[in-house]
Amino acid sequence: MKLSVESRQAITDAWLVGPATLALILFIFLPVAIVAVLSFTDYQFGATSFNWNGLENYVKLFSSSIGRRAITNTLIYVAIVIPFSVGFGLLVAIGLFRMATWAPLLSNLMKTIYFLPVAATLVAMSVAWQMVLHPSLGIVNQTLLSFGMQPQNWLSDRGLVLYTLAVIGIWQSVGYNMVLFLAGLSAIPTELYDAAEVDGAGGGWSRFWTVTWPMLGPTTLFVMVVTATNAFRVFETVATMTKGGPAFASDTLVYALYREGFVYFKAGYASAITMVFFAFLLALALIQFRIVEKRVHYR
């Protein structure tokens, strides 16, 4: 049997893109469609049948105190992590960028240190953080005591736990943002600084406000969105250190979807949580696309 050139080409194309395409459909698009459908049902894992229940899962998520808690906790967490992680990332990047001119080795060493938490296994580091924050054996409380201050239950105090997790979130992401800002800084043409000097903006502060900050504007927006996207997915620290507790004080969207879906097996309700989480991330992705578009127009 002789095949025409066209059909031979078509077979080659199918052979090259087929497996990847099939995998994308099987493991991304089909599951997304199914999770969307499930979110309108009362399906439970293991059940033989299910009923449509319209928006009930969504109503439950937004009206029950536990559901609302997961959403507001996530938003609070993200709202704390963004400014501090981006702010510290920017400060560290500027500091190390300047230091590189007179102490390149030290600057590089510090860059390595700041990036360390990004590469380290977060679950293992969370186990380590548990010991750092241990009520009696942890170094934080021991230090507080030695200064005559009140030790705290960082991970089991309802009023504190979310902030503790946010601090760990910041600790984990500063180095990542630093790297993004360092890339942004080295892309600023030095002529701009020379020009600023000619115009009388020679000091550190005026250099920053006249050149660095405006040039880093798009990078900063971008870094903020990336930070928000990662913060929304907070799971490892919660699952390792608090399991959403005490009394749901550190429950977050991804942890709630894990608990409802895979501990209580409420697939329908967990699917609704998933869709809400997905909606937040899609909104962020939309913002990110617009920023990238703007950035291209700049050049």
Partner 1 sequence: MKRLILSRLLPTILLVLGAAAILLPFVWMLSLSVKPRDEIFSTAIHFLPSRFEWENYAFAFTQTDIPLFLWNGLVMVAGILFFQILFAVPCAYALAQRRFAGRSLLFGLVVAALLVPFHVTAIPIFLAFAKIGILNTMWALILPFVQTAFGVFLFRQFFAQIPADLFDAARVDGLGETAIVWRIAFPLALPAATAFAIFSVTAHWNDLFWPLIATTDPHLATPPRGILYFRDQESGDNVGPLMAAAVIITAPLVIAFLLAQRKFIQGIAAGGLKG
Looking at residues 32 to 91 of the shown chain, list those that interact with partner 1 (rule: CB under 8 A). Answer: 32, 34-35, 38, 45, 88, 91
Instruction: Give the x/- contact pattern for partner 1 in 244-263, rule: CB under 8 A.
Output: ----------x--xx--xx-
* Closest separation in Å from C-beta 127 to partner 1: 5
From candidates 51, 59, 83, 98, binder to partner 1 by CB under 8 A: 98
Instruction: Give the x/- contact pattern for partner 1 in 277-296, rule: CB under 8 A.
Output: xx--xx-xx--x--------
AA identity, residue 192:
L
Report the C-alpha gap between 149 and 147 in whole angstroms: 6
The answer to whether 50 and 268 are in contact (CB under 8 A) is yes
Q: Does 187 bind partner 1 (CB under 8 A)?
A: no
From candidates 65, 146, 150, 190, binder to partner 1 by CB under 8 A: 146
- Strand-pair partners of 41: 52
Binding segment for partner 1 (CB under 8 A), chosen from 53-61, 136-144, 156-164, 189-197, is: 136-144
Report the C-alpha gap between 39 and 37 in whole angstroms: 5
Q: Which is nearer to partner 1, 161 or 260 (CB)?
A: 260
Q: Does 186 bind partner 1 (CB under 8 A)?
A: no
**Which among 150, 149, 151 has a CA at the least distance from the CA of 141?**
151
Annotate 280-297 with three-state secondary structure.
HHHHHHHHHHHHHHHHHH
Q: Any idea which residue has 């009140």 for tokens?
A: 150
Q: Which is nearer to partner 1, 65 or 127 (CB)?
A: 127
DSSP state of 248: T
Q: Which is nearer to partner 1, 119 or 198 (CB)?
A: 119
Q: Does 129 bind partner 1 (CB under 8 A)?
A: yes
Q: Which is nearer to partner 1, 15 or 65 (CB)?
A: 15
Q: Does 233 bind partner 1 (CB under 8 A)?
A: yes
**DSSP string covering 178-245, please?**
HHHHHHHHHTS-HHHHHHHHHTT--SHHHHIIIIIHHHHHHHHHHHHHHHHHHHHT--HHIIIIITT-
Q: Which is nearer to partner 1, 162 or 179 (CB)?
A: 179
* Closest separation in Å from C-beta 44 to partner 1: 11
